[in-house]
Each structure stands twice: as C-alpha cells, then as structure tokens.
C-alpha cells in the first residue's frame, strides 16, 4: 500500500529548510509508519530535491513523525527559482511512498 492510505501530511518552510509531517490517521498504524518511513528512505526519495541532511523527530502523543530537511528549497524560499518555491507539494510526494501491507 501507499503511505497515503494510512497517513496524512503537511509541508512547512523556513529559509532553505523544509519540514514534512507524517501523521497516522489511526494510532495503531503509527508503529508501521515509524518502522518504514525512515530518514534514509525520505532522503533517498528526495535525492533530486533535498541536498542536505534529513532528521526525523517523533511525536508519538499525536501519532506523528516530523522530517526536517536541510538545503531543500533551492537556496531558500525567497530566492528559489522553483515554481513551488515553498516546497508545499513535497508532502504529497512523500505520501506516495510504498509501505508493506499491515498483514505482510
């Protein structure tokens, strides 16, 4: 299945740093998300977009992870040449990640 089947997401921006939340719709899927949405996989997925480190923070009380990605916004929101200078669409790209089915 896709991450989008079990989680929702929003992107935020500060300078050249993008953060993406990944939030379980249902708390029981949080461990699955924690196991499969690793900073390494996120960095791989965004290899062509994010040029700095990716750090993951966990907020289990709301069933969410937060990925903070350096050098992610074309040199910074206010000077980027990108059509989506804020990187707002990154959240949707992350939700396309493949996740093993619960039963697997």
Residues that bind another protein (CB under 8 A): 4, 8-10, 12-17, 19, 21, 23, 25, 45-49, 57, 59, 61-64, 66, 68, 76-79, 81-84, 89-90, 93
Handedness of CA 40, 41, 47, 51 (dihedral sign): negative
Nearer to another protein, 35 or 59 (CB): 59
Residue 34 CB, shortest distance to another protein, in Å, is 15
Residue 14 CB, shortest distance to another protein, in Å, is 6
Whether the CB-CB separation of 2 and 97 falls below 8 Å is answered with yes
Question: How many CB atoms neighbour CB 18 within 10 A?
Answer: 27
């Amino acid at each position: 299945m896709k991450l989008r089947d079990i989680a929702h997401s929003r992107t935020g921006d500060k300078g050249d740093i993008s953060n993406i939340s990944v939030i379980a719709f249902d708390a029981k899927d949080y461990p699955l998300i924690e196991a499969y949405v690793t900073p390494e996989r996120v960095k791989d997925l965004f290899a062509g977009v994010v040029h700095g480190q990716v750090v993951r923070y966990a907020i289990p009380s709301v069933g969410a992870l937060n990925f903070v990605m350096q050098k992610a916004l074309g040199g910074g929101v206010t000077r980027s040449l990108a059509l989506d200078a804020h990187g707002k669409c990154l959240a949707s790209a992350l939700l396309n990640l493949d996740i093993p089915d619960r039963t697997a």
